[in-house]
Amino acid sequence: MENKYNLEDRLLEFATEIIRLVEQMPATRAASHVSGQILRSGTSPLFNHGEAQAAESPKDFLHKLRICLKELRETKRALRLIMNAALVDDMDKATTLLNESDELIRIFVASIRTAEQKVLREDDTDRYNTE
């Protein structure tokens, strides 16, 4: 996965690669269980990021970013499980996705911190403007 600076593009590529990874998993009970989980959590950040861009308020924006972060953390753990249980043959692809999930988590943590500061500033402004 090449480095991209557009977050939407990175999330799209990440979701696409998660789908491709899932499609390579065997048709066993364990793989089916884990693949369903990672398919949901690994594609969710793309959709929730779109929801965040259409947020109705800074608090709504922050909430959507937190959902993205939660889903990325879940995906990272699922990838670790997939690798540990050897549920895919292509460990390089799984490792690349694990690294990308870690980078995306860092991006969302930083974005959430920034958004939290903005919400706090707006709450302070609202508090002083209500008098």
**pLDDT level of residue 119 (50, 70, 90 thresholds):** confident
- What are the pLDDT digits (tens) for 24-44? 999 999 999 999 999 999 999
Residue 99 located in a structural domain: yes
- What are the pLDDT digits (tens) for 90-106? 999 999 999 999 999 99
Residue 1 located in a structural domain: no
Mean residue pLDDT of the chain comes to 91
Q: What is the CATH number of the domain that holds 75?
A: 1.20.1440.60
What is the pTM for the complete model shown? 0.87
Residue 37 located in a structural domain: yes
Query: Which residue reads 């988590």 in tokens?
Result: 105
Q: Please report how the helices 91-129 and 7-23 are oriented relative to each other, as an axis angle in degrees rounded to 10.
A: 140
Residue 2 located in a structural domain: no
**φ, ψ (nearest 5 deg) of residue 5:** -105, -15
Residue 125 located in a structural domain: yes
Split into its structural domains, the chain has a count of 1
